[in-house]
Amino acid sequence: MLHLRVVCPPEKTDDALALLRRRTGVAHLIVHRGVAVAPAGDLIEADVAREAADEVIDLLCEQDIDHAGGITLEAIDTALSDAADEAEEDAPGEGADAVVWQELVSRTGEESRLNATFLAFLTIACLLASVGVITDSPVTIVGAMVVGPEFGPLAAMAVGLVLRRWDLLRRAGAALAIGFPAAVVVTAVVTLASEAVGLLDVRAIRSGAHQVDFVYEVGWYSLIVALLAGAAGMLAMTSAKSAALVGVFISVTTVPAAGYVAVAAVLGDWQRALESLGQLVVNLAGIVIAAAAVLALRRRGQRVRAGDRPLARG
């Protein structure tokens, strides 16, 4: 279940309470009148089944409470209550299948911002990838995959496409378009410096076959893996199963491909640099396409289920 907090203007409180009383999936309804200071008003609290949360939020937003007051949601780890159990049973569908769209927009919007933290993680991931490429270390490549923060903007692009939120598309596109080139440039500079002081021998990648050659070798399997990872990643985000995202991170060679671009450029091997760049583009596009497809299907399914949804209790 989710805990709902609504800071509500006094003149809208009774309507909001009546709305929440009528909805299925709502339990533990509480009102504190006059306790909110900024913005001034009343505080309404309730526990809401995840599968009912999206509809409840939409109805509260229709009353302009998101502008005149405030609405927050937080996950409840444990709820020992017959009323809560009844609310979850009454709400149509399963919690794991429910998408809380406002939560998804907020989450992906935050994770798609171009800031120092995003650039730092992406740069560190590319540096790890470059070390893994030069030393032929698949373990280091996997570490780079896990550290990379690129799935946030990719998910935001998928959400932007499905919901036609062009602001999300622009923000996520800027994060990727600026973040990856910046990380590649820093990685190339550090690789040059490491080679100059004798820490790394970049020429080692030219000698024979390596375990990490898959990083730059583009093929149908690259696209297939990217599509599967994008689908799994969006399912994980929309069902609040974040543990599955780790598997997504270590299955797609986005960051490793960017690291290989830097190493190949330092070496002057422009063919491998272009192949790695192609691998990067294919994987990024595949993730966005699959994530958007999954999101569109889930949205359509949720709308179909909403047609048979009971609107009131009792």
Radius of gyration of the chain (CA): 24
Cβ contact 7:41 at 8 Å: yes
Domain ranges for the chain: 2-95, 104-301
Going from the C-alpha of 117 to that of each of 49, 122, 183, the distances in angstroms are 34, 9, 12
Confidence (pLDDT) at 252: 72
- CA-to-CA distance for 262 and 247, rounded, in angstroms? 25
**Any idea which architecture 2-95 has in CATH?**
2-Layer Sandwich (3.30)
> Measuring CA to CA, which residue among 140, 130, 128, 122 is closest to residue 180?
122
Confidence (pLDDT) at 30: 93
CB atoms within 10 A of CB 135: 16
Cβ neighbors of 210 (< 8 A, separation 6 or more) are 136
> Measuring CA to CA, which residue among 157, 112, 150 is closest to residue 259?
150
Phi, psi dihedral angles at 240 (to 5 degrees): 60, 30
Cis peptide bond N-terminal to 39, omega within 30:
yes
Tokens of 145: 């995959």
> Measuring CA to CA, which residue among 3, 5, 15, 105 is closest to residue 63?
15
Intervals of the chain under pLDDT 50? 308-314
> pLDDT per residue over 27-41, tens digit each?
999 999 999 998 899
Confidence (pLDDT) at 29: 92
Confidence (pLDDT) at 281: 92
Counted residue by residue, the chain has a size of: 314
Confidence (pLDDT) at 85: 85
Cβ contact 196:122 at 8 Å: no
> pLDDT per residue over 167-187, tens digit each?
999 999 999 999 999 999 999
Residue 181's SS3 state is: helix
Tokens of 6: 């609504």
> Measuring CA to CA, which residue among 148, 269, 100, 132 is closest to residue 210?
132
Mean pLDDT of the chain: 84
> Measuring CA to CA, which residue among 80, 79, 77, 72 is closest to residue 56?
72
Confidence (pLDDT) at 248: 63
> pLDDT per residue over 47-91, tens digit each?
998 888 888 998 999 999 989 899 998 888 888 888 888 888 877
Q: Output the pTM of the full model.
A: 0.79
